Amino acid sequence: GFTDWKIYNSVEWEKFVHTYHLFLAGQIPAVDADTSSYIAGIDQFKKDAQTGNLPAFSMLEPVWIAKVGTTSYHPGGDLAWGERGLNEIYEALKTGPAWNETLFIISFDEHGGIFDHVPPPYAENPWPNDVNDGFRYDMMGVRVPTILISPWIKEKTVFRSPTAVAYDSTSILATLLHWHGIPKARWGLGDRTHNAPTFEGVFQCSSPRSSAPSFTPPYDK
């Protein structure tokens, strides 16, 4: 029943918008019938941020693949493009009228082959019957960075889960569902999401900070 959201994509893959065609196409008839209301380009996101016209939730896709200029930070590519693209998004949000009501989450879907010295911990099985060759998907993978940006977060904050359950990617899902007031009985996204800690504890400021950092993005790799 929630319609106040949009996917902003940076590149099409085989003439498809990646996230929509992988996960949404055929799922919600109202969206399939009116994709223009739910899908736009990353330049439109910057305009919407500047004019205060962002939806309640925005999903941003980087440039996944290109001969040059990928912004997904994939190892082996020139990371400067990602730094510049990310800074443009941040500046559009920071200088827009809704900055004090915005949480900007930056995360990654995989580690890209980079070594991690911390052994992956065990975790809640995502679905009760998930098993392949004896593996129940009850272990985390290697760690990926996740950054939360908001004027309600204190400077230099490093935060961890306040419970015995560690933060993972499903914490983003759980936080969204919780903030939209959807009862857990209706989440339907598996046991791991059901038990994931949410992000409320990171907001420790009593009022939004009046200053925000500015960055000089790299000009070459």
The residue written with tokens 């915005």 in the block is 102
- pLDDT the model gives residue 221: 65
Angle, CA of 156, 86 and 147, to the nearest 5°:
35
- b/e map 171-189, b = 16+ CB within 10 Å: bbbbbbbbeeeeeeeeeeb
Using DSSP, state whether 192 is helix, strand or coil: helix
Token pair of 78 as six digits: 């020139």
What pTM value is reported for the model? 0.92
- pLDDT the model gives residue 105: 97
User: What is the DSSP secondary-structure string of 171-187?
Assistant: HHHHHHHHHTT--GGGT
Residues of the chain with pLDDT below 70 are: 221
Q: Centre a 10 Å sphere on the Cβ of residue 82 and count the other Cβ atoms it contains.
A: 20
- pLDDT the model gives residue 19: 85
Using DSSP, state whether 19 is helix, strand or coil: helix
| Amino acid sitting at position 140 | M
Using a 10 angstrom Cβ sphere, with 0-12 exposed, 13-18 middle and 19 or more buried, the burial of residue 150 is buried
- pLDDT the model gives residue 76: 81
25-63 pLDDT, tens digit per residue, is 999 999 999 999 999 999 999 999 999 999 999 999 999
